[in-house]
Amino acid sequence: MEDHPPAEQSRWQMIASEAFAFTEIASLRIDPIYRGEGVPRGDGRLVVIIPGLFGSDFYLWPLRRWISRIGFRASTSGLWVNVGCPDRLTSDIEQWIERQEPRHDRPLVLIGHSRGGLLARALAVRLGRRVSHLVTLGSPVGLVSAFAELGNVPPIAHPTMSTVWNASNAARRVLDPQCHFPDCGCEFVDNMRASLAPETTVLSIYSREDPIVPPQASIVTGARNVEVTGTHSGLVYNPAVYRELARSLP
């Protein structure tokens, strides 16, 4: 059997720990927060939830179900999978939102998991004051926004995050060969540099145990940054995350 260096073993052990996301689903289902106990009722505004890299809307159904249960109008992102050119994906979600909520005088909420948080951040800039809340879960939005302001996104030092980034780029080159992000200077890059509307409340939730996105990459200047424990994948099922949402959204 081939031996692996300790650092590589540690990395694969951290990634393997993501299997514990299933225990977070089990914990959520028996937690009173998931039944909506003690949670203030929402006002029926649209809440669009965006999946992470290589993910579809399917795995987010427990979160959407809970969002609906506490009095909001939960929506999928409309994406069949989050992979490829980020500018194209952001535009696709924007069009989906226009179909779900054509009235521009009604506020809405954007929630993005992992790479979905980057798309949500770009959307929040495009939609401006319509977005009352931007919530990112285990997303490198702080890191990418900071580097976008400098005009480029250099290689990421975190080994696992770099591997995921490279996989994303490889898929993008296949699906969208005309896309040269981040050197293209497209609207998405401009969105990541731009400031959000002052009406938008920003909440970034991340896990100190996340093996995919390092916690420091999720810190957003001027936002409420909340640290929890648990897996990267399990953030969308983590009862502590639901408590923070219950505290913030209504």
pLDDT in tens, 186-210: 899 899 989 999 999 999 999 998 9
Write down all domains in the chain, each with its CATH number in brackets: 46-227 (3.40.50.1820)
Crossing angle for the helix pair 21-29 and 61-69, nearest 10 degrees? 20
What is the Cα Rg of the chain in Å? 18
**CA angle (170, 171, 172) in 5-degree steps:** 90
Adjacency order of strands within the sheet including 224-228? 73-75, 46-50, 108-113, 131-137, 201-207, 224-228
d(CA 168, CA 171): 5
pTM of the model: 0.88
What is the pLDDT at residue 4? 47
Residue in this structure with the two tokens 């951040």, named with its chain if needed: 121
The shares of helix, strand and coil residues in the chain, as percent rounded to the nearest 5, are 50, 15, 40
Q: Which pLDDT tens digit goes with each residue over 103-158?
A: 899 999 999 999 999 999 999 999 999 999 999 999 999 888 877 666 555 555 66
Handedness of CA 86, 89, 94, 95 (dihedral sign): positive
